[in-house]
Amino acid sequence: MAVTTGDTRIPFIAGNWKMNLDHLQSIAFVQKLAWTLRDANHDFGDVEVAVFPPFTDLRSVQTLVTADDLQIRFGGQDLSAHDSGAYTGEISGAFLAALDAAYVIIGHSERRQYHGETDELISEKVAAAHRHGIVPVICVGETAEDLEEHGPSAVPVAQLRTALEGAVRGQEIVVAYEPVWAIGSGQAATSAQAQQVCAALRELLVEVLGDEAAAATRILYGGSVKAANIAGFLKEPDVDGALVGGASLQLEEFASIVRFKSHVGTL
Query: What does residue 4 show for φ and ψ, rounded to 5 degrees?
Result: -125, 40
From 108, 110, 142, 236, active-site residue: 108
Residue 242 C-beta: closest distance to ligand 13P, Å: 8
Contact present, 226 and 247 (Cβ < 8 Å): yes
Here's the x/- map for ligand 13P, 10-49, by CB under 6 A: it reads as ------x---------------------------------
Residue 133 C-beta: closest distance to ligand 13P, Å: 23
* Four-point Cα dihedral 106, 170, 234, 149, nearest 10: 50
Nearer to ligand 13P (CB atom), residue 219 or residue 244: 244
**What does the alpha-carbon distance between residue 7 and residue 120 come to, in Å, rounded to a whole number?**
33
**What does the alpha-carbon distance between residue 142 and residue 146 come to, in Å, rounded to a whole number?**
6
Sequence-separated (6 or more) residues with CB below 8 Å from residue 266: 231
Nearer to ligand 13P (CB atom), residue 122 or residue 209: 122
From 110, 117, 142, 178, active-site residue: 178
Query: What does residue 57 show for φ and ψ, rounded to 5 degrees?
Result: -95, -15
Residue 116 C-beta: closest distance to ligand 13P, Å: 18
Q: For 141-222, where are the E strands, in sequence order?
A: 174-177, 218-222
**Which residues, 97 to 126, sit near ligand 13P by CB under 6 A?**
108
**What does the alpha-carbon distance between residue 261 and residue 256 come to, in Å, rounded to a whole number?**
9
The residue of the chain with the least Cβ separation from ligand 13P equals 245
178 included as an active-site residue: yes
**What does the alpha-carbon distance between residue 142 and residue 147 come to, in Å, rounded to a whole number?**
6
Neighbours of 97 (CB within 10 A): 18
**Which residues, 221 to 260, sit near ligand 13P by CB under 6 A?**
222-225, 243-247
Nearer to ligand 13P (CB atom), residue 73 or residue 209: 73
Of these, 184, 210, 212, 262, which contacts ligand 13P (CB under 6 A)? Answer: 184
Nearer to ligand 13P (CB atom), residue 58 or residue 244: 244
Check residue 189 for interaction with ligand 13P (CB under 6 A): no
**What does the alpha-carbon distance between residue 236 and residue 258 come to, in Å, rounded to a whole number?**
16
Where does 52-153 have alpha helices with state H? 58-67, 93-98, 109-114, 119-131, 144-150
Nearer to ligand 13P (CB atom), residue 151 or residue 184: 184
**What does the alpha-carbon distance between residue 228 and residue 266 come to, in Å, rounded to a whole number?**
10
Nearer to ligand 13P (CB atom), residue 106 or residue 209: 106
Of these, 3, 33, 37, 183, which contacts ligand 13P (CB under 6 A)? Answer: 183
Of these, 142, 178, 236, 253, which contacts ligand 13P (CB under 6 A)? Answer: 178
* Residues classed as catalytic: 108, 178
Residues that bind ligand 13P (CB under 6 A): 16, 108, 178, 183-184, 222-225, 243-247
